Structure 1
């Protein structure tokens, strides 16, 4: 059996693995549960996520990636190894060729750390791809032609905005404001307004169910459970979509500013292509209700979300390997 080609979307909040010929075979949270007393890993992925905020003192559930960058090297290596083996099963005797995508703004040192972790996790060959390129391929954009395509990839830790032409990034911006910041903003808002402490998972649930970037014709609301900061007792409140929009305002305006700054720096010919072709949104953050309308109203450019925004980067990372191994070498 020949070694498989893998494409890995190494995200701050989740890791997706694409296997050549099979598509996306794995999507799990990038969380590791670690026992401080014995110095051993207790769980990785979904199992570890269930432990977030629910562990005894000796077990810590940590995210080894912060803002798209490796913050804990050893644990990232263990996590990668686990996900690679889980994706391949017993089907491969040879080491796989792996392509991994990274945010467009990371340094050479950070890139090298990702590469080293992949080799230590069992890769035979490692290709590092910038996130906007992978997102564009995964969203079905033909990036090989000499015309401008604008991609806005909103992940868990970073938001990457880029104009791509002829297989390369012409102008880009990577900001450390994304899905995790949306959750954080909701936690802070609920604490400030209701004196209620809620966890990350509750905040994410609020964002997914009633979160919005623009005013909804009919505001929606939901019950939220947390701990009252004054009495210390559990409490239930109702939060509506207008409040969530208010909470997300600052984070969203930073994303809009990043889009505007990239447009301002785009050469005129490519900018006119973007106006014709529109802006494509990818990443989990693109699923926020009303985000298309918000970006469209601020830029005047037609904005649409990729068909599968959550998996676009992983698919593009894997397909990049196929394009390379098919002899059509792209410039990284």
Structure 2
């Protein structure tokens, strides 16, 4: 058996962007093969996993009492080790078409500001999920390489990477990070701000999915030409009944003002 065939048999090299909101998987020679939400639906009675990724995200806010949709990463780091490991194993097997013998080498992106303990947890989860070798790369460096920036030249390149749980700002020069800042504010914080603002202004309770959809549809940091309004459907806190309201882009901008 040739070296290439043997490597293919035990698992192709993979890169994993283990994000708070979404997990992306890149496989050498195939490109990005998976982009799914970092969500796992678990049956609390049995401990069994019912769904992972997109299917699990559809269940958020719509599950019976014994089923919970877990987001195992918070602020860019592992909050639930066991669930993260199971989610990673599912993604590895999905990419390798359910080949249970797959033992790929994996590069994992992590926020630049995480502690040694948090970094160790990421490595341990990847090894437990079936990796034969795990490498860690900081997210700003991975973003700079992906964007084709001249990172090895003696010039400063600034990268701003806004994710679900963290925002990474780094200056890169001569193949390394000169200075960086990891702020634990991201898209999730914007969603929560929308939920809180609608609750305060309209006494309407929104779910995470609805808040995210509104943010994606009409959210912006500054005024744009031709802005639209959007309908929001939620539960009226006074009556407990479904209620629909219309909000403008300006109102949503006001709602996300603080985290922005």
Give the TM-score normalised by the residue count of structure 1.
0.74
- Residue number in structure 2 paired with 1:47: 55
Q: Which range is displaced more, 218-227 or 156-165?
A: 218-227
1:216 to partner: Cα distance:
2.5
Mapping of 1:149-228 within 5 angstroms? Answer: 149-228=157-236
- Does the alignment pair 1:125 with 2:133? yes
- Residue number in structure 2 paired with 1:107: 115
Give the Cα–Cα distance (whole angstroms) in 2 for the partners of residues 213 and 149 of structure 1: 23
- Which stretches in structure 2 are left out of the alignment for 5+ residues? none
- Does the alignment pair 1:79 with 2:87? yes
Secondary structure of 1:55 counterpart: coil
1:43 to partner: Cα distance:
1.1
Per-residue CA deviations over 1:152-185 (Å, capped at 9, x if unaligned) read 0000000000000111111110011001111111
- Which stretches in structure 1 are left out of the alignment for 5+ residues? 253-332
1:218 to partner: Cα distance:
3.4
Per-residue CA deviations over 1:24-71 (Å, capped at 9, x if unaligned) read 000111101111111211111111111100000000001000111111
Structure with greater contact order relative to length (CA < 8 Å, sep ≥ 6) = 1
Q: Please say if residues 211 and 244 of structure 1, whose CA atoms lie closer than 8 Å, have aligned partners that are also in contact.
A: yes
1:217 to partner: Cα distance:
3.2
Q: Please say if residues 93 and 100 of structure 2, whose CA atoms lie closer than 8 Å, have aligned partners that are also in contact.
A: no
Q: Please say if residues 102 and 111 of structure 1, whose CA atoms lie closer than 8 Å, have aligned partners that are also in contact.
A: yes
1:219 to partner: Cα distance:
3.3
Higher helix share: 1
- Residue number in structure 2 paired with 1:281: none
- Does the alignment pair 1:232 with 2:223? no
- Does the alignment pair 1:96 with 2:96? no
Give the TM-score normalised by the residue count of structure 2.
0.94
Secondary structure of 1:245 counterpart: helix
Q: Please say if residues 4 and 92 of structure 1, whose CA atoms lie closer than 8 Å, have aligned partners that are also in contact.
A: no
Higher strand share: 2
- Residue number in structure 1 paired with 2:254: 246
Give the Cα–Cα distance (whole angstroms) in 1 for the partners of residues 49 and 208 of structure 2: 22
Secondary structure of 2:29 counterpart: coil
Secondary structure of 1:104 counterpart: coil
- Residue number in structure 2 paired with 1:62: 70
Secondary structure of 1:129 counterpart: strand
Q: Which range is displaced more, 91-100 or 31-40?
A: 91-100
Q: Please say if residues 29 and 49 of structure 1, whose CA atoms lie closer than 8 Å, have aligned partners that are also in contact.
A: yes
- Residue number in structure 1 paired with 2:142: 134
